[in-house]
Homo-oligomer: A and B are copies of this chain.
């Protein structure tokens, strides 16, 4: 199991949608802002301030990125999707999902 070394981990959780989505923010050893989170089954919409790279560690989601020419796409373990800054995405969580979000600008 991968371990992320030399991380600065924020103690308090981020809690969204009454706890159906929660995450822990950290800064990796290269200074890149990331979060590790859990999404319970359901449908959610998230806006982005910065562009995001969303890696699915475990679970299954369907995603529609609001900006650009995009369609609903399905992602599972080891797959990822990216969302531009100042955009939003709809996500249907089919199975409880463990994810890693990297803020890429």
Residues of A in contact with B (beta carbons under 8 Å apart):
1-13, 15, 18-19, 22, 24, 26, 36, 38, 40, 57-58, 96, 98, 100
A9 touches B38 (CB 8 A): no
Contact yes or no, A57 B6, CB < 8 A: no
Q: Quick check: B38 and A96 within 8 Å, CB to CB?
A: no
Interface of A (DSSP majority class) = strand
Contact A38 B57, beta carbon cutoff 8 Å = no
- What residues on B are CB-neighbors of A11 within 8 Å? 1-4, 36, 57, 100
Assess A12 versus B58: contact at CB under 8 Å? Given A19-B40, A38-B19. yes
Given known contacts A22-B22, A24-B24, A26-B9, is B15 in contact with A96 (CB within 8 Å)?
Answer: yes
